Amino acid sequence: MMVPLDPSSKPTSQRRIAEGDTVVVYERHDAMRAVAVRPGAVLQNRFGVFRHDDWIGRPFGCKVHSAASAGGGGKGKGGGFVHLLAPTPELWTLVLSHRTQILYLADISLVVSYLELVPGCLVLESGTGSGSLTTSLARAVAPHGRVCTFDFHDQRAASARY
């Protein structure tokens, strides 16, 4: 979902948002959230009401205006907007629910570097936690590598699968 494992897949900037995709809704530099795209669903925040149906078929990275601006036309002045970004390990670390103590980007970079991870490596991780490190490990070993991660806490493991 987050890491394209197929080398022939399109770059994120060319991919279109589809039903079931997870997008990072960028409201402003200190306000982002991960949202699963579902037909008929809406996201309501301080910037307006955003219909998921309006997102489907749009490219990742696009700017969308609230449905309420300009009488529902979506392009009127004064209406709010958000950007719909593809989830990368960097963004995922910022938007995920911190169910455990997580590693941040500088620490993750050091771990990946010290482990000398390259595509094709097999990584065994003990303690999935929130999945912050796991997503970066997966990208480092993609497209042919593998990350096997284990967590004894069932609820945290289930949440990290999201």
Name the band, by pLDDT with cuts 50, 70 and 90, for residue 132: confident
Nearest to 99 by CA among 151, 49, 52, 36: 151
What are the sequence ranges of the domains in the chain?
A: 12-85, 96-160
| Residue of higher predicted confidence among 136 and 152 | 136
d(CA 19, CA 56): 6
- Cα 38 from chain centre: 15
d(CA 74, CA 51): 10
Block residue for tokens 């022939």: 8
Residues sharing a CB contact under 8 Å with residue 19, sequence separation 6 or more, in sequence order: 37, 38, 39, 56
Q: Is the confidence at residue 33, as pLDDT, over 90?
A: yes
Q: Which tens digits make up the pLDDT trace of 57-76?
A: 999 999 999 986 544 444 54
Q: What is the pTM of this model?
A: 0.70
Name the band, by pLDDT with cuts 50, 70 and 90, for residue 129: confident
Residues sharing a CB contact under 8 Å with residue 53, sequence separation 6 or more, in sequence order: 39, 40
Contact 81, 14 (CB under 8 A): no
Nearest to 152 by CA among 74, 105, 100, 76: 100
Check residue 4 and give its pLDDT: 45
* Mean pLDDT over each residue of the chain, to the nearest integer: 84
Contact 117, 141 (CB under 8 A): yes
Helix (H, G, I), strand (E, B) or coil at 134: helix
Q: If one looks up domain 12-85 in CATH, what number appears?
A: 3.10.330.20
Q: Is the confidence at residue 158, as pLDDT, over 80?
A: no
Residues of the chain above pLDDT 70, percent? 82
Q: Which 8-state DSSP code applies to residue 16?
A: B
25 burial class (0-12, 13-18, 19+ CB within 10 angstroms)? Answer: buried
